[in-house]
Structure 1
Amino acid sequence: MTEDNFVDYVKVFVRSGNGGAGSSHLRREKFVAKGGPDGGDGGDGGNIIFKTDKNLWTLFHFKFKKHFKAQHGENGSKSRSSGANGKDEFIKIPVGSVVKDTETGEVLFESIEDGEEFNAVRGGKGGLGNWHFKSSTNQTPKYSQPGIEGTEKKLTIELKVLADVGFVGFPNSGKSTLLSVITDAKPKIGNYEFTTLKPNLGIVKYKDFNTFVVSDIPGIIKGASKGKGLGHHFLRHIERNSILVFLVSCESQNIDKKFNILVDELKKYNKDLLNKEKLLVVTKCDLLGEDDISDLISNNKLKSLNIDVHFISSVTGYGIETLKDIMWKKLNIQSY
C-alpha cells in the first residue's frame, strides 16, 4: 500500500430514500356498486447504513465515490397492496472508523468490531392508503398520505487505526526500523525526516503462538499539536492503543528533554492519552559502546522520568527480545 492509497479522512454526502405515496384507489368491480377505498400504503424509503468490514484498512475507496443514495419506496396500489420498501444503501468502512455529523461535529458512530452496522439516516415513511381513512361519515375517502421525504446529510468519516501498541517518536528515531524487525511489515525506511507518511501496522508473533498488533505513526515534532510538521492529523491513531512506546535515538544529547517534548505534545492534543501504559525505548544503541550504554542506564535524569526505560538496537538485535517481553507483560496488565 502506498502513501497515496492511505486515506484516513473523507467527507461524504448521503441521502435516504423517500417514502412511497399511499394510494387513493377506489375499488371498482362488476356488480359491486360501492366498492369503497382499497388504496395500499406506500413503501418506506431505504436507509443509509454503515457497516464495518475487517478486510478494509483505509478509506481509499471513498476517493471514487462520495455521494450515496438509498432507493425510494414504491407507491401503494389497489387491493390494499403496499408498495415495496426502498433498498437500503450499505456503506462499508474499516474497523476503527468514526462517523461524525459534518455540520455539528457530533460523533454519531464509533466502530470497534467487524460486522457492526449503524443506521445513519433513516428512510422516509411511506404514506397511508385511503382505506385507513374510511369512517362512518366518509365511506369513500379519496384522500391518501404522500410519502415522507428522505433526509440528506453531510458526514465526515475518520479512521483511527486499531493497534495494541503505538510507537511515538520524532522523525528518524528508528520507529519504522523497529517495526520491520519485530513484525513482517515492510515500512519505508530512510535516513531523513518524515520517511513515514502514513501509519504502518504490523503483527508481532510472540511466544506460544500469541500475537499483538503494533503501529508506527509518522514522526512528531515540537508544535505537532498546533499543526507543525505533519501536524496532529495522525495523532488520533494512537487514541485506541493500549500502550504507548516512546522512541528516542541515543544520538540525542538530552534524551530526557526529547521524551518530555513528546509527552507535552500528546498532552496538548489529548491529555487522556497520558493515562495509558507507557514505555521509553532508547534506540540505535549499536552506535554506542558498552560503557556508554552502562552510563545511560545509570543516568539519573532518565531515572527521574518515572517511566520504564529500555535500550535496543534494531540493527544488532540488542534488547529486542526483552522489549517484546516487556510489551507483552504490559499488555496483559492492561487486560485485567
Structure 2
Amino acid sequence: MELTVNLGKNSYSVYIESGILKNAELYISQIFKGKRIIIVSDDNVYPLYGEALIKALPSYECHCLVLPHGEPTKSFQTLPQIYGAMLEEKISRSDLVIALGGGVIGDLAGFAAASYLRGVKFVQIPTSLLAQVDSSVGGKVAVDLPQGKNLVGAFYHPQLVLVDPKTLDTLPNRYITDGMGEVIKYGCIRDKVLFDLLNSHTSFTDLKSHLNSIIYQCIDIKRAIVEADQFDTGERMLLNFGHTLGHTIEQYYHYERESHGEAVAIGMYQITKISEKAGLTPAGEAEKIYRTLKIYGLPYECGLPVSALTDAIKLDKKNLDDCLNVVLLHKIGDSYVYPTSLDFFEAAGVV
C-alpha cells in the first residue's frame, strides 16, 4: 500500500508492506543518490532490526548510533551526542539520516537532521505501532524540555516513510496498547467507521487481521489534515485530541509512569467528560470512549488534581494569542477546536 503526502516540494511517499524492511534499498535509492548513511536507533530496536537494515542497504556506506530507549532520551542533552556521531562519520548535506525506531527516535533523529548543517535528508522507518500510525508522518520533529514535551522542534518532512507491520511482532504488549491510544484517537476525531471497527473486536489479537488497513486509514487521515494545515495553526490541531492533558500527565511523572498513548487515552476520556458537563459534547460520547479504552487495556484516569497540571497546560503549543485551543467532539468521528482558557480544566477537579 502506498500513500503520497502532497506538500509541493516537501511531498513524500509512505509505503506500508509486511517485510518491506528487507527491500529498503529499492525505495531509498529512489530518493537518495549519495553514498553515506547514518542510522539512528535505540538499544531495544537496533539488536532486532539494525543489522537487517544494513544488510538491506548493500550499496551504501552505513554508520550507526544506538541510543538508550525511552522518552528521557528525547532531550536537548542528547543532541550533542548525535551531532558528534554525524561529525565523526563525516556526514554532509549530501548524505542521509535514517530514524529506525519508535516515536522518540523518529522525533529526535528528525530534529537532529533538521538542524545539523541546516538540514540533512532523512527517512523514517517506524517500528512501533504509535510511530507507524502517527508520529512518523507529518514532519513534526522535536525534543523535550524539563518544562514540557516537544517544546523545541521544527517542521521538517522525511523524504520517505517505510512502514513494516512485521516489526510489531516483537513489540512488548504495552507498546501495542500504547499505539492503540493513537488509533482510537483517529476514530474519535475523523472516522466513526474505524471507531466502530475497533469496538466490534475484543482485543488487539482479535483485531490483528485488519492491522495493515488500520495503519493505512490512520495515515490517510493524518495525510489529509497535514495537507490542509501543514504548520499546525488550524485543522491540524485536531490531531492533538487528548494531548493537552496527556502531555502534562507524561511530564508530571517524568515520563516514567504513563506512556504517551496511555496518557492520551486518559486525556481523550477526561476532556470529553468535561466537555459533556459543559454542554459542548452530547452526553454519552465519553462512555463510548471509555468502553473502547477498556477493550484495548488503556487507562482512563490518573488520579491527579487538575491544579497539579495547570502550569504545563499553560505551555501547550495550541495556546495561541493567549487563548487555549482544546480539541473536543461534536460526536465520535466529528471533532472541532474550541477556544477557551484554563477555567475549562479547573472545573474537572481530579482527572
TM-score, scaled to structure 2: 0.27
The structure having more radius of gyration, on CA atoms, is 1
TM-score, scaled to structure 1: 0.28
* Bigger share in helix: 2
